[in-house]
Amino acid sequence: MPTASASESSSNQPESSNASGSIDHVLVEDRLFHPSAEFTAKAVISTEEQYEKLATAARENPDEFWRAEALEHLHWFEPFDTVCDWQPPHAKWFVGGKTNASYNCVDAHVAAGRGDRTAIIWEGEPVEDGKPRDQRTLTFAELQTEVAKCAEGLTQLGIGVGDVVSIYMPMTPELAIAMLACARIGAVHSVIFAGFSAASIAERNNDASAKLMITSDGLYRRGKILPLKETVNEALENSSTVEHCLVLRRTGEEVPMQEGRDVWWHDVVDSQPGEMAAKPLDSETPLFILYTSGSTGKPKGILHTTAGYNLWAKRTFQWVFDHREDDVYWCTADCGWITGHSYIVYGPLSAGATCLMYEGAPNFPAEDRFWDIVERHKVNILYTAPTAVRAFIKWGDEHVDKHDLSSLRLLGSVGEGINPEAWMWYHKKIGAEKCPIVDTWWQTETGGIMMSPLPGITPTKPGSCTRPLPGVVPSIVDELGNSVDSEHGGKLCISQPWPGMLRGIYGDEERFVEQYWSDVPNKYLTGDNARCDTDGYYWIMGRIDDVINVSGHRLSTIEVESALVSHPDVCEAAVVGRPDDCKGQAIAAFVTSNDRGHDDEFRKELKLHVRKEIGALAQPDDIRFTAALPKTRSGKIMRRLLRDVAAGRELVGDTSTLEDLSSLAKLQEED
């Protein structure tokens, strides 16, 4: 721990900074920001002793700790008898008990007499031509009825316990309702971000043997309509397990509906009585699958189950976001990613929080859209991504200055490391130097936040996700899996099971074991490198594998390569990340082709091809043609060298194993 304690501090001022207050060093970041005494006084965790007590109990006596947590924070239809059955790498939590995540998120609050509290404030994409904005609020009681109606509709469509439901929807309340309806009846949702292509949807449908798809006619994005149903129709041509498609009317556009397969939400859901109770489910009932990129071309279906995930999402939400009764909380993620699952739906709703949900883009109709929303809804807690913060910086302070942001008391960051410059801007411009920033490190696999400042007590250092939450026991190991001097860094592992941990990769036990549990016996391998400083603060240093992080989204370079190679005129492709001011990493592709000319038209065609194969988020930023890719004599592409070329850096390190230097030299000349 840093020596100065939070309670000694009276303001959120840096303890040390360079003369100009600007950042000229990134690696040696020694500034420390304390939460204000005022913030600390009201915080959920307000003393270092409180944190130590929780962390020690969770580390030294996990069974007792998690038993008490689960009994206090989840509703049990039947009590569990075993807290954690840990047979590495398989953990079962709260064995023997029956609960329901939909009950915990919705019914529990109605049963406790809080049914008229606002659960969701929804802000749709603004409609142009002076028409009113699209807005809706749902109380917990209203949400209960909507979720029950949807559950009844799903049941009518033949969906039951264990059936997989793919959801490809805009950020409307019905997306959260559909997720909770699945949870209510024990169906397993697989939310697919609504920017993925038909081929990506079909791949996920087939991998999970999805029985039902839920989508909408379309979605609004920056004033335009994106035709979701058309994309889904194309996907369904290659999704043989899908029996029905439930379609929400959102844009009102005419869409092709297939007789016998496709049904409208307003026919199947809206007409239901809305009385279906949540089904008591075994703790380990699968709750959802969420696909994420790994180091191969095939996305992994990360599996989370009911009780452990729900508890982790709820408690980490309460600890990290310091949730208080009347807060308006806004997480700007999309429910298509894990952040939306854990911190728009399951975490905040089971904590009874009022959660803002936003459909549109941050710069439509103007670059002040977020600040307009914060001001109008008096948002207290804002959770967003570094890529958004960097975009705000680029768009200019004037968009922020137009609005009163005084309602904000806490800021969060997720998805990638936040670089100190962006951290400082967020702190000063958005947080008015009074809001603690929680830089939260976690992954799809971890289910919820693993390392983060606790805003009432942890002095923050820009760029560090600080310390592990109670129950998280990190360790840093070297190439051989031996624990190392953590100051120098190494592979980040987690050495004790935690309730929110993934339970597997759907349908692929071998990959689950190989990917996460093989390098270091009985420790979960995160795939990130990290170091820990003398204060016990962790600094995430990027991925070990061929996964890149573009605007906070995980992408496998091999997925993009496979898409490129599927173009008939491409022979070989190598994809690497290169630094980008806004996105964090941009996608650089090196391509060898047949005798087709290397012109801009071909480049454009390839970009569109990747967009069609995977989705817009995977479209390469640069495409560079080359006569040959740099390879070792054994035929392995030397990505390290391409990364240097893509970044415009001097080539460093050993090139002696390279088969042919000439093409690389040529690529460098072109720079």
Dihedral of the alpha carbons of 151, 156, 157, 159, in degrees to the nearest 10: 60
* Cα–Cα distance for residue pair 395/368, rounded to 1 Å: 9
Q: Which structure tokens are listed for 261?
A: 């397969």
Distance in angstroms (rounded) separating the CA atoms of residues 94 and 7: 37
Report the nearest approach of ligand PRX to the CB of residue 540 (Å): 4
User: Which residues within the stretch 365-404 sit at the binding site for ligand PRX (CB under 6 A)?
Assistant: none
DSSP states along 345-409: IIHHHHTT-EEEEE-S-TTSS-TTHHHHHHHHHT-SEEEE-HHHHHHHHHH-THHHHTS--TT--
Using the contact rule CB under 6 A, the part of the chain among 211-219, 424-432, 525-533, 564-572 near ligand PRX is 525-533
Least distance from ligand PRX to the Cβ atom of residue 539, Å? 9
620: left (phi over 0), alpha (psi -120 to 50) or beta: beta
Among 441, 498, 506, 516, binds ligand PRX (CB under 6 A): 441
Task: Work out whether 339 is an interface residue with ligand PRX (CB under 6 A).
Answer: yes
Give the range of 320-328, 441-449, 472-480, 482-490 binding ligand PRX by CB under 6 A.
441-449
Q: Site for ligand PRX (CB under 6 A): which residue of 344, 465, 532, 555? A: 465
- Stretch in the footprint of ligand PRX (CB under 6 A) among 57-65, 89-97, 99-107, 410-418: 410-418
Asked if 353 is part of the footprint of ligand PRX (rule: CB under 6 A), the reply reads no
Does 339 carry a binding-site annotation?
yes
Vertex 469 angle, CA 466 and 472, to 5°: 110
Instruction: Give yes or no for a contact between 289 and 188, defined as CB atoms under 8 angstroms apart.
Output: yes
Site string for ligand PRX, 637-656 (x = CB under 6 A): --------------------
Segment interacting with ligand PRX (CB under 6 A) among 110-118, 241-249, 359-367, 413-421: 413-421
292 binds ligand PRX (CB under 6 A): yes
Cis peptide before 365 (omega within 30 of 0): yes
* Separation CA 620–CA 591 (nearest Å): 11
Q: Is 222 annotated as a binding residue?
A: yes
Rg of the Cα trace of the chain?
A: 25
Does 320 carry a binding-site annotation?
A: no
Task: Find out whether 626 is annotated in a ligand binding site.
Answer: no
Q: Which is nearer to ligand PRX, 440 or 496 (CB)?
A: 440
The first and second tokens of residue 249, run together, are: 């009317």
Q: Closer CB to ligand PRX, residue 215 or residue 384?
A: 384
Do the annotations mark residue 660 as ligand-binding? no
Q: Does 546 bind ligand PRX (CB under 6 A)?
A: no
Residue closer to ligand PRX by CB (options 415, 615) is 415
Non-local (6+) Cβ contacts of 51 within 8 A are 45, 454, 457, 470
Q: Is 456 annotated as a binding residue?
A: no
Q: Which is nearer to ligand PRX, 247 or 560 (CB)?
A: 560
Stretch that binds ligand PRX, among 321-329, 414-422, 618-626, 630-638 (CB under 6 A): 414-422
Q: Is 363 marked within a binding site?
A: yes
Shortest distance, position 295 Cβ to ligand PRX, whole Å: 12
Cβ nearer to ligand PRX, comparing 331 with 563: 331
- Does the protein bind ligand PRX through residue 471 (CB under 6 A)? no
Other CB atoms within 10 Å distance of the CB of residue 423: 26
- Binding window for ligand PRX (CB under 6 A); candidates: 98-106, 375-383, 415-423, 661-669: 415-423
Of 89, 286, 527, 615, the one binding ligand PRX by CB under 6 A: 527
SS3 327: coil
Q: In this structure, are strands 212-216 and 164-168 parallel, antiparallel, or unpaired? A: parallel
Residues 6+ apart with CB under 8 A from 494: 446, 450, 472, 473, 474, 475, 501, 523, 524, 526
Q: Give the residue with the Cβ less far from ligand PRX, 292 or 350.
A: 292
Which of these ranges, 199-207, 259-267, 435-443, 591-599, lies near ligand PRX under the rule CB under 6 A? 435-443
Which 179-218 residues touch ligand PRX, going by CB under 6 A?
none
By CB under 6 A, how many residues form the interface with ligand PRX?
21
Residue pair 436/321 in contact (Cβ under 8 Å)? The answer is no
Q: Is 476 in the site for ligand PRX (CB under 6 A)?
A: no
62 binds ligand PRX per the rule CB under 6 A: no
Count other C-beta atoms under 10 Å from residue 48's C-beta: 16
Q: How many whole angstroms from its chain centre is CA 549?
A: 11
Q: What ranges in 216-323 are assigned the alpha helix state H?
A: 228-236, 265-268, 306-320
Nearest Cα to 162, choosing from 144, 189, 138, 143? Answer: 189
Which residue, 288 or 442, has its beta carbon nearer to ligand PRX? 442
Cis ω before 89 (30° cut-off from 0): yes
Placement of tokens 């989705």 in the chain: 615
441 is an annotated ligand-binding site residue: yes
Of 173 and 294, which CB lies nearer to ligand PRX in the complex structure? 294
Q: Which stretch binds ligand PRX (CB under 6 A): 45-53, 240-248, 412-420, 621-629?
A: 412-420
Known binder of ligand: residue 570?
yes
457 or 465: CB nearest ligand PRX: 465
With b meaning 16 or more CB within 10 Å and e meaning fewer, what string describes 539-562? Answer: bbeebbebbbbbbbbbbbbbbbbb
Instruction: Single out the segment in contact with ligand PRX by CB under 6 A; choices: 158-166, 350-358, 427-435, 522-530.
Output: 522-530
Nearest Cα neighbor of 441 from 451, 453, 433, 432 is: 451
Kindly state whether residue 334 participates in binding ligand PRX, applying the rule CB under 6 A: no
Query: Which letter does DSSP use for residue 44 in this model?
Result: S
Q: Are 229 and 195 in contact (CB under 8 A)?
A: no
Q: Judged by CB, which is closer to ligand PRX: 172, or 444? A: 444
Q: Which residues line the annotated binding site for ATP?
A: 415-417, 439-444, 528, 543, 554
Interface positions with ligand PRX (CB under 6 A): 292, 338-339, 414-417, 439-444, 465, 526-528, 540, 543, 549, 554
Q: Which residues line the annotated binding site?
A: 221-224, 339, 363, 415-417, 439-444, 528, 543, 551, 554, 565, 567, 570, 611
